Amino acid sequence: MHVFHFRGLSSVLMFLLAILGIVLVFLALPASFMMVLWNALVFEGAKGPEINLYQGFLLWGIVLVILKMVFKPEIQLEFVKPNASKAGKSGKDAADKSLDSQVAAPLETQTDESQASNPEQKSPKS
C-alpha cells in the first residue's frame, strides 16, 4: 500500500490537478466525442435532434453501462418456458380459449339488450 505525503498547498493543488486530468481523460473527452459523433450522424445525417455536452455525458454513461453489462455481467436473467397443460395443449392455447369465451359473452349480451330495447328492429335470422 502506498502512502502519499502532502506537504503544503502546492502538493494539494497538484493532487487536485491530477484528479481533474483523470476526470477529463475518462469522462469529458469521451462525452464530447459522443456528442460530436451523435451530431454528425444523427443531427446532420438523419435530420434528428442535436445534443449538447450534458447529453453527451449521459450518452457516454449509457455506453459504459452497456459495455459493463456485456463484458462483466453480474446479473443473470433466466427465462422460464411455460409448461404444457395435461390435455397436451400449451398454456397459451388454453389462455386464448378462455379469452375468446370472455370476449364472446359480452357481445351476446349486448345484442340481446339492443333487441329488447328496440322491438321493431328485426334480427338478421328472421
> What per-residue confidence (pLDDT) applies to 82?
84
Low-confidence residues of the chain, pLDDT below 50? Answer: 107-109
Domain co-membership, 13 together with 51:
yes
Domain assignment of residue 88, yes or no: yes
> What per-residue confidence (pLDDT) applies to 78?
78
Answer with the one of 50, 71, 92 that is the final residue of a domain. Answer: 71
> What per-residue confidence (pLDDT) applies to 49?
92
Whole-angstrom Cα distance, residue 34 to residue 95?
A: 47
- 99 lies in which domain range? 80-117
DSSP label at residue 85: P
> What per-residue confidence (pLDDT) applies to 17?
94
Domain assignment of residue 1, yes or no: no
Percent of the chain having pLDDT more than 70?
66
The CB-based long-range contact list for 32-41 (8 Å cut-off, 24+ gap) reads 32/56, 34/59, 34/60, 34/63, 35/59
Give the tens place of pLDDT for each residue, 97-119.
555 555 555 544 455 555 555 55
